[in-house]
Amino acid sequence: MLSVFDHIPAGLLEAPAPDLHRILPGPSLVHLPGRREQPLFASIMLHGNEDTGLRAVQALLRRYQQLPRALSIFIGNVSAARYGARFLPGQPDYNRIWPGTDAPDSAEAAMVREVVEIMAARGVFASIDIHNNTGTNPLYGCVNRLDHRFLHLASLFSRTVVYFVRPLGVQSMAFAELCPAATLECGKAGQAHGLQHAVDYLDACLNLSEIPTQPVPEHDIDVFHTVAVVKVPTGVSFSFSYPEAEILFNGDLDHLNFCELPAGTSLGAMPPNEPVRLIAISEQGDDVTDLYFENAGGRLVLKKSAMPSMLTLDEQIIRQDCLCYLMERCAWIR
């Protein structure tokens, strides 16, 4: 299932995401040499509708005849990219299948275990997983360990850093066993500022001789801890415009991302006297819906203060992934 190259496949630097299937037979790992042998690892296109990583790598490679550091690139869901989809029917989510997943038996999970093993043998220097999102979000980095090396790597992309340990099976959590690892959230696909920022970030990482171990200065970073993921259960109808849905979310809901919202903030409307038809799961796997949400006379409101991320107006993404994550500001790590 995995194809491995020791060169840039012909046409890869010019191909848009929907044409990757013409260049690559499927998920592919490309190893390129550099002046420093310990490779930087970058994963792109784990979701077929998120092409900033591909475009950033293409722009980066056009800058160099010789890379300052070896670079290994994993190009993920090529078949979903053909159709501009996060993943195709019958496929798993390519960012839920990495070692540590609770669904380890698929062919795709076996393939990414092979990727991890290959990179472990190569002594990977650092790992970067590049994504887009569909709501109104700032550019931010994510880490799965409150380790100063990880925080330095993420804060090189943005002063806004999110720490999370769920969902399971994400790429960055698997690579955290091997090296400093960060996820980049580059805003919506197609936005020029997210693309340019990703290109410059990858370039900076390739030119690092080492990753600092001392604390990031407190005034240079804002760290938020993901405390719950919020989903709309299968079978519950929702909409941003159709008033007969069981939940009618506010039409500008995604503008609440990365806002510290007080208790009582309204997220939408629902029938009075009905139970809240969302489910919020903590990082320990507990149902914490009643801690965060209530029906206040037909309004779906926050029961306690929280900061959401990844709120989106894309109904398909909400079904495939989640409505949002809830975060709290982290105490400073010294």
258-282 pLDDT, tens digit each = 999 999 999 999 999 899 999 999 9
5-35 pLDDT, tens digit each = 999 999 999 999 999 999 999 999 999 999 9
pLDDT classification of 331: cutoffs 50, 70, 90: confident
213-263 pLDDT, tens digit each = 999 998 899 999 999 999 999 999 999 999 999 999 999 999 999 999 999
Q: What is the mean pLDDT of residues 59-78?
A: 97
pLDDT classification of 333: cutoffs 50, 70, 90: low
Beta bridge partners of 74: 29, 43
- Looking at residue 311, its pLDDT comes to 97
pLDDT classification of 332: cutoffs 50, 70, 90: low
Q: Which residue has the higher pLDDT, 207 or 331?
A: 207
- Looking at residue 82, its pLDDT comes to 98
Q: What is the mean pLDDT of residues 209-214?
A: 96
The ranges assigned to domains in the chain are 3-220, 226-329
Domain 3-220: CATH class, spelled out? alpha beta
Residue 37: alpha-carbon gap to chain centroid? 27
This prediction has a pTM of 0.94
DSSP string of 218-262, one letter each residue = GGG-EEEEEEEEEEPPTT--EESS-TTSSEEE-TTGGGGTT--BP
- Looking at residue 22, its pLDDT comes to 98
- Looking at residue 334, its pLDDT comes to 60
- Looking at residue 187, its pLDDT comes to 96
Question: Does residue 289 have a pLDDT over 90?
Answer: yes
Question: Does residue 154 have a pLDDT over 70?
Answer: yes
- Looking at residue 219, its pLDDT comes to 87
- Looking at residue 218, its pLDDT comes to 87
Task: Please state, for a pLDDT cut of 70, what percent of the chain lies above it.
Answer: 99
Question: What torsion do the CA atoms of 87, 52, 98, 310 make, to the nearest 10 degrees?
Answer: -80
Query: What span, in angstroms and rounded, lies between the C-alpha atoms of 200 and 205?
Result: 9
Count of beta carbons in the 10 Å neighbourhood of residue 89: 5
Residue 308: alpha-carbon gap to chain centroid? 15
Query: What span, in angstroms and rounded, lies between the C-alpha atoms of 40 and 205?
Result: 8
Strands 181-185 and 140-143: antiparallel
Average pLDDT of the chain, as a whole number: 96
* Residue bearing tokens 């994963």: 43
Poorest-confidence range of 7-11, 134-138, 151-155, 305-309? 134-138
